[in-house]
Chains A and B, each alone.
Chain A
């Protein structure tokens, strides 16, 4: 290798005069119908299932609750990398770090993720916090 970085910055400035993508309305209609059918069918199949799932294990584990109040991307304590910026398709503006609660087998675990500040999921917690503050 001659040590030249591959796919470097110079490449960014390509301006392709692009044709405007036109979605065939017929195709879209057809697709929407199939999507709707799939959704409907999924819902129906679940409804007809017997509801025996009473064992709800939805408690947020304590360790997750510690020190996770509304941290903005970029000011992370551990110096870990923040979301890459160039994507620009996550809604723009600030990003909020959330913890996603998941199950691996029977074990609970969380993974960190960034979501846009204007995401409804964040809005609700913000409102909640604001309400708490007022009390």
Chain B
């Protein structure tokens, strides 16, 4: 909608503010004008600094020697201004021959060449002191009072280039003068990308590792989404409140991993026939129904073929925005030294940094108005975070991490350090946080992507676009008039549109500036509307579900204090490209910091699960530290008549021996026996008085998910509508959520292939910790017991007499033999 500027990203924003400093040292990136000079050879003209870095000579001297270039020009902001260094007498520009001499009596100095001018006899008779000729280059470095040596801080934050790299890049410049250091390390097309590491020399190395991984993921995403065209789509038409055309159609989700989400862009096409010419329009998904019907708000308002309903095609319009912003953030991180504080810069790169304490007056109480009272571990978390520039908070399932985060943000905002930025990778998490923070009385603005403005949100009143529309002051009346006109007509004249946009932008800015807290997704923090904002304090929730470059986007806006909230024992970010995943893109920043030795602060009291359900996860994933904030009584299913094998223990492992099958798409699995038994369990729950919204069916495989939905609606013995209201989802998509009753279908059941997805302990943790009142696990113990973790889970169920088989109304303890666990990774 906004015209993309030259070389700018998708949304017209030039990524990385300090992006291209022309006079940055081509080796290390240092760019203070006093410290750099330009090689004056016409074919070269590159800038270099006067620091030695990791080499014996300064970068400037290194270049001149390696390239055999001999002329230098100073920066215009240097003490001598933009000057080509040359002999005052003969004009010789060879810096290897130049030096200063001074006048005998005065504080006047001049550059003179060693040969021949220094040896001209006539000079000796004048007032110059020739005995003290001071060469420009001394000890492999330029005179430091002519071209300053960068400070130690500056050098530490620069690219740590080695002598070998210098030689290599100089070699490369001989054939390709515009090559960059990155070109040295670019992997070939078929090469495996460089894997991530724990520590990085500098932000350039960081960028060298992550940029290719993000590129791989972006390419994969593009390829996959653009191959998702559907033909013969039937459309039903509607008009939205904003007078825009909305098309409803079914976009069947096959059992691949493509997930359509609100805000996605689709193109609706009609290829033309005898009755109607060809037509197409792009629109945004504003809603997805449980029946997989998509509501698409079209951009075009005129010429829409509303009289037609059949024969449409739908394509996915891939956007590079989020990937562009990640790349931009990495660039900013490297070249702009104001992007993050020095402490955070070195900390994130894994350098050993002297401990720092933030001297803040701590509040008397750590809770916040409008929030529930904090428990002891939550109070400690808030307290420790407020005093540290970098902290990690680990929130196991149900431990109240949103409340804790909200309390932290409340106290940060009260410290008067400016606005606080609050982010999370997912929109759902951002909405939840925004709501909680707003209940403390702070002024919260929820910034949504423009493509999501029509998507309904539980915190509508906090969103920027809502506040812009409802800001009620007289000076805004002109904007409101234009808004009304736009709503009525669908569009404005180009001059009105211009005026409207300017007014809107000013209003947005005003509202954003008056907020205490701004909430958006990590990618949203790269929104151009925030490009002039600086945030010293940033909190990122669900940070273990974001990739590192994603996490970086909110950080490079000037952060000095960062809080990462998450749980590295639950699932990490979803990476579609296997190559990128193998190279380690799926490891979050939080996780890397933990491995580097940063101890996360763990919240320890869980308020979700029946104590019986939290026992295994606590012992297995949290060293037994998880305490129960809910009692058995509070989680008793009173009045629910369900055949739990042990009455006070609402859990069982239901032994299944049916075989797995490969799904129609060939990329996923399903298991018919398990699906049939899932339906029976669901029906039993419903009969016993549980309502559909209390039940969640989860499974690791998309193929099984689709099969269960289908099977229940066709074979369920109760009203079909009841089954339709039951949420059937993948384990991964259920992270962060809960249901009263969870049914987990494991699917995998084979002789030799292993258990795939189920191997990941974090997926098992997520699956086991979604239920509040009760859980039923369906799977094949013979197969699952080969994996050590599943083996201990099965043993746990068996010891509690909850490993059962047989018909639901006559469950018996199973005597199935487990296999010896062995370490298999597949």
User: Does B104 make an interface contact (CB < 8 A)?
Assistant: yes
Q: How far is the CB of B386 from chain A (nearest CB, A)?
A: 16
Chain B residues engaging chain A, CB cutoff 8 angstroms: 34, 53-57, 61-62, 64-66, 68, 70, 79-81, 83, 88-92, 94, 96-97, 100-111, 113-117, 120, 122-123, 126-129, 131-132, 134, 140, 144-146, 148-149, 151, 153, 156, 163-164, 337-338, 341-343, 346, 351-354, 356, 417-419, 513, 532-534, 536, 558, 560
Whole-angstrom CA separation of A47 from B94 in the bound complex: 14
Candidates B128, B148, B560; contact of A10 at CB < 8 Å: B560
Q: How far is the CB of A130 from chain B (nearest CB, A)?
A: 12
Q: Which residue of B lies closest to A51 (CB)?
A: B116
Q: List 30 A–B pairs whose Cβ atoms lie within 8 Å, in order of A's numbering.
A: A2-B513, A10-B341, A11-B341, A16-B353, A18-B351, A21-B53, A23-B54, A27-B55, A28-B56, A32-B56, A38-B70, A42-B94, A43-B115, A46-B113, A56-B120, A58-B89, A58-B126, A59-B126, A60-B127, A68-B107, A68-B108, A88-B151, A98-B102, A101-B110, A113-B80, A119-B145, A120-B134, A122-B102, A124-B131, A124-B132
| CB <8 Å contact, A90 and B144 | yes
Inter-chain pairs besides A16-B346, A46-B114, 16 sampled, C-beta below 8 Å = A16-B353, A23-B163, A27-B55, A31-B140, A38-B65, A38-B68, A46-B115, A58-B126, A71-B107, A87-B149, A98-B102, A99-B107, A101-B108, A102-B110, A113-B79, A128-B105
Q: Which residue of B lies closest to A49 (CB)?
A: B116
User: Does A125 make an interface contact (CB < 8 A)?
Assistant: yes
Q: How far is the CB of B600 from chain A (nearest CB, A)?
A: 22
Whole-angstrom CA separation of A76 from B58 in the bound complex: 32
Given that A18-B156, A42-B94, A97-B107 are known contacts, is A103 also in contact with B88, CB under 8 Å in the complex? yes
Given that A10-B560, A43-B97 are known contacts, is A4 also in contact with B536, CB under 8 Å in the complex? yes
| CB <8 Å contact, B88 and A7 | no
User: Does A94 make an interface contact (CB < 8 A)?
Assistant: no
| CB <8 Å contact, B109 and A101 | yes
| CB <8 Å contact, A1 and B115 | no
As a 0/1 sequence over residues 2 to 44 of chain A, the CB contacts with chain B under 8 angstroms (1 = contact) are 1110110011111111100101100110011011001100110
Give the residues in chain A near B106, CB-CB below 8 Å. 60, 64-65, 68-69, 99, 125
Give the residues in chain A near B140, CB-CB below 8 Å. 31-32, 35
| CB <8 Å contact, B128 and A58 | yes
| CB <8 Å contact, B116 and A129 | no
Candidates A39, A58, A90, A112; contact of B96 at CB < 8 Å: A39
Given that A7-B338, A99-B109, A121-B134 are known contacts, is A21 also in contact with B54, CB under 8 Å in the complex? yes
Give the residues in chain B near A123, CB-CB below 8 Å. 132
Q: How far is the CB of A18 from chain B (nearest CB, A)?
A: 7
Q: Which residue of B lies closest to A70 (CB)?
A: B107
Whole-angstrom CA separation of A71 from B107 in the bound complex: 9
Whole-angstrom CA separation of A11 from B340 in the bound complex: 10
| CB <8 Å contact, A121 and B97 | no
Whole-angstrom CA separation of A38 from B418 in the bound complex: 55
Give the residues in chain A near B123, CB-CB below 8 Å. 56, 58
Give the residues in chain A near B129, CB-CB below 8 Å. 124-125, 128
Q: Which residue of B lies closest to A56 (CB)?
A: B122
Give the residues in chain A near B338, CB-CB below 8 Å. 6-7
Give the residues in chain B near A124, CB-CB below 8 Å. 102, 104, 129, 131-132
| CB <8 Å contact, B65 and A91 | no
Candidates B96, B113, B352, B532; contact of A38 at CB < 8 Å: B96
Q: How far is the CB of A97 from chain B (nearest CB, A)?
A: 7
Give the residues in chain B near A14, CB-CB below 8 Å. 153, 341-343, 346, 353-354, 356
As a 0/1 sequence over residues 45 to 64 of chain A, the CB contacts with chain B under 8 angstroms (1 = contact) are 01101010110111110001
Tell me if A's interface is mostly helix, strand, loop or mixed.
mixed
As a 0/1 sequence over residues 107 to 126 of chain A, the CB contacts with chain B under 8 angstroms (1 = contact) are 00011111110011111110
User: Does A78 make an interface contact (CB < 8 A)?
Assistant: no
Give the residues in chain A near B111, CB-CB below 8 Å. 100, 102
Q: How far is the CB of A69 from chain B (nearest CB, A)?
A: 7
Chain A residues engaging chain B, CB cutoff 8 angstroms: 1-4, 6-7, 10-18, 21, 23-24, 27-28, 31-32, 34-35, 38-39, 42-43, 46-47, 49, 51, 53-54, 56-60, 64-65, 68-71, 86-91, 96-103, 110-116, 119-125, 128-129, 132
Give the residues in chain B near A7, CB-CB below 8 Å. 337-338
Candidates B61, B107, B337, B418; contact of A4 at CB < 8 Å: B418
Whole-angstrom CA separation of A103 from B85 in the bound complex: 10
Whole-angstrom CA separation of A129 from B104 in the bound complex: 9
| CB <8 Å contact, B145 and A91 | yes
Whole-angstrom CA separation of A100 from B74 in the bound complex: 14
| CB <8 Å contact, A114 and B79 | yes
Give the residues in chain B near A27, CB-CB below 8 Å. 55-56, 163-164
Q: How far is the CB of B97 from chain A (nearest CB, A)?
A: 5
Give the residues in chain A near B149, CB-CB below 8 Å. 87, 89
| CB <8 Å contact, A114 and B145 | yes
| CB <8 Å contact, A43 and B114 | yes
| CB <8 Å contact, A23 and B56 | yes
Give the residues in chain A near B56, CB-CB below 8 Å. 23, 27-28, 31-32
| CB <8 Å contact, B80 and A102 | yes
Give me the 3 closest cross-chain CB pairs, A-B, nearest first.
A15-B354, A14-B342, A17-B352
| CB <8 Å contact, A47 and B343 | no
Whole-angstrom CA separation of A97 from B89 in the bound complex: 23
Give the residues in chain B near A38, CB-CB below 8 Å. 64-65, 68, 70, 96
Whole-angstrom CA separation of A87 from B153 in the bound complex: 11
Give the residues in chain B near A1, CB-CB below 8 Å. 532-534
Whole-angstrom CA separation of A100 from B127 in the bound complex: 15
Q: How far is the CB of B59 from chain A (nearest CB, A)?
A: 12
Given that A27-B55, A58-B88 are known contacts, is A100 also in contact with B131, CB under 8 Å in the complex? no
| CB <8 Å contact, A132 and B105 | yes
Give the residues in chain A near B134, CB-CB below 8 Å. 119-121
Given that A11-B343, A59-B126, A119-B145 are known contacts, is A98 also in contact with B55, CB under 8 Å in the complex? no
Give the residues in chain B near A86, CB-CB below 8 Å. 151
Give the residues in chain B near A31, CB-CB below 8 Å. 55-57, 62, 65, 140, 163
Candidates A11, A23, A65; contact of B342 at CB < 8 Å: A11
Given that A21-B54, A42-B97 are known contacts, is A102 also in contact with B88, CB under 8 Å in the complex? yes
Give the residues in chain A near B337, CB-CB below 8 Å. 7
Give the residues in chain B near A129, CB-CB below 8 Å. 105
Q: How far is the CB of B88 from chain A (nearest CB, A)?
A: 6
Candidates A17, A21, A98; contact of B109 at CB < 8 Å: A98
| CB <8 Å contact, A115 and B145 | yes
| CB <8 Å contact, A46 and B97 | yes
Whole-angstrom CA separation of A35 from B65 in the bound complex: 6
| CB <8 Å contact, A42 and B96 | yes
Whole-angstrom CA separation of A118 from B148 in the bound complex: 17
Give the residues in chain A near B132, CB-CB below 8 Å. 120-121, 123-124
Whole-angstrom CA separation of A129 from B41 in the bound complex: 41
Whole-angstrom CA separation of A11 from B561 in the bound complex: 12
| CB <8 Å contact, A100 and B96 | no
